[in-house]
Amino acid sequence: MKKSSLWIYAALIFLLSFDIWTNNSPQAEGFYTYILKWLDCIKISIVWSVLCVIGLLIWYKDRLQLKEQEKEELKDQMRNRMEMLVMANQQLSEYRMRDLLVDLFRRFVLNQPYVLGVQLYEYSIVNKSGFGTVKLNFID
């Protein structure tokens, strides 16, 4: 249960118990006649009542809007962080792939008695005036 709903229930229970106490207790009659008598003199018009209700509704709607803005800001922050993580993961994926290949080559050389070493090259084919040239770039 939310904290705000607990306060509402507590206030309702207090009002109910206060109403029961004022209706059924002789001490409450004295309390009402001396302390709360001024409440009977106050006349609140319908216009003021409606204005108060509208003011409370506007305040409540404003609070909801602030909460929604905070939620959207948090979503934007999370989205930005996720984008940063994805970019960092893309940059690190090349190094991870190289580490995996080096580990694979190391295990291959250790397990094969006739293999002395493994080298990794990257090649590209360049066509120049009808002749194909293969260019090798040493990687590891």
Kindly provide the b/e burial profile for residues 123-140, where b requires at least 16 CB atoms within 10 angstroms of the residue's own CB: eeeeeeeeeeeeeeeeee
pLDDT in tens, 16-54: 777 777 677 777 667 667 766 666 666 666 666 777 778
Are 109 and 118 in contact by the 8 Å Cβ rule? The answer is yes
pTM: 0.40
pLDDT in tens, 54-83: 878 888 888 888 899 999 999 999 999 999
How far apart, in whole angstroms, are the C-alpha atoms of residue 87 and residue 99? Answer: 19
pLDDT at residue 7 is higher than 70: no
Lowest-confidence region among 69-78, 111-120, 131-140: 131-140
Arithmetic mean of pLDDT, 81-108: 86
Domain map of the chain by residue range? 1-42, 44-140
pLDDT at residue 115 is higher than 60: yes
pLDDT of residue 139: 77
